[in-house]
Structure 1
């Protein structure tokens, strides 16, 4: 059977928390996809039930247990047909892991850069200090240099419950 994978959530570079919600359309041998979340140092595995007799919508989630030894905030979420065939079709989506961007990560809010803004001034306004690293890391897919932001650019500002 041909495996078809169309992952609609998360999108590349979405910021995720300890519970990663996954949704899409798929068809797989015996209706099962394997899920792996990895960053090169540690990994978490799970599975999802999907359609076996045609393309079907599915939803799944994977929990990142406390104490998982992730050291990098960029993770790779891989879904693959669970037939044991290492060369089978798979889809990998890069995501950003919020708890390693900002302790106590509880989501993010959009912020539109205004004339005269710097990442330090935005951090001061949102966090009460000039530590812009959480903002820079949360936007690493669109910011190559923390000194290069421009008016009208929409940034994700991580927030926490601390």
Structure 2
């Protein structure tokens, strides 16, 4: 069996409803499982994909993680199928994502912002959050783009989580 995850994207910013979508299949009874976790708590579920005769089909699942007690804002979305022989988790795909509600209370969406010459994270945080000392929100929401908070490059697009 095979699994291709198209949503969420690696390092994608997700909210309390995590959308998992892609294609999967390759077996008669194509049941797949998902797990969303950060090492402390997890949300699990299952879905069917394929056409019942070994073909591949699209899937789209919405997982409500609002009841989870996540302690970290870095989550992992895993999709796999379970071997009927020994219960092993096979063909597992793992997508690391960023959990917005632990960055900005009440997180709903994000806005994109292109860094301009002379910008600082302190200034951007002041502009969007009213306080420069909230710049760590920007760092946490953009782990793949902001690797050093003291060095940002004009033209780089960052995500600004909003409540």
Scaled by the length of structure 1, what TM-score is found? 0.92
Q: What's the C-alpha RMSD, in Å, of the aligned pairs?
A: 1.3
Task: Give the secondary-structure state (helix, strand or coil) at the position aligned to 1:44.
Answer: strand
CA contact (8 A) 1:28 1:81 kept: no
Residue 87 of structure 1 deviates from its aligned partner by 4.4
**Aligned partners of 2:146, 2:20: CA distance in 1, in Å?**
26
**Aligned partners of 2:75, 2:26: CA distance in 1, in Å?**
24
CA contact (8 A) 2:81 2:89 kept: no
**Aligned partners of 1:44, 1:72: CA distance in 2, in Å?**
14
Residue 79 of structure 1 deviates from its aligned partner by 0.4
- In the alignment, which residue of structure 2 is the partner of 1:5? 3
Aligned length: 157
- In the alignment, which residue of structure 2 is the partner of 1:109? 111
Structure 1 stretches of 5 or more lacking a match?
A: none
Task: Give the secondary-structure state (helix, strand or coil) at the position aligned to 1:115.
Answer: coil
Residue 28 of structure 1 deviates from its aligned partner by 5.2
- In the alignment, which residue of structure 2 is the partner of 1:149? 152
**Aligned partners of 2:142, 2:162: CA distance in 1, in Å?**
13
Task: Give the secondary-structure state (helix, strand or coil) at the position aligned to 1:48.
Answer: strand
Question: 23-32 or 105-114, which moves further after superposition?
Answer: 23-32
CA offset digits 1:122-145 (Å, max 9, x no partner): 000111111101111100122111
Residue 61 of structure 1 deviates from its aligned partner by 1.3
- Aligned positions of 1:1-162 closer than 5 A: 3-27=1-25, 29=27, 30-51=29-50, 52=52, 53-66=54-67, 68-83=68-83, 85-130=87-132, 131-160=134-163
Scaled by the length of structure 2, what TM-score is found? 0.91
Task: Give the secondary-structure state (helix, strand or coil) at the position aligned to 1:122.
Answer: helix
CA offset digits 1:46-94 (Å, max 9, x no partner): 112211421111111111133x221110100000114453242111100
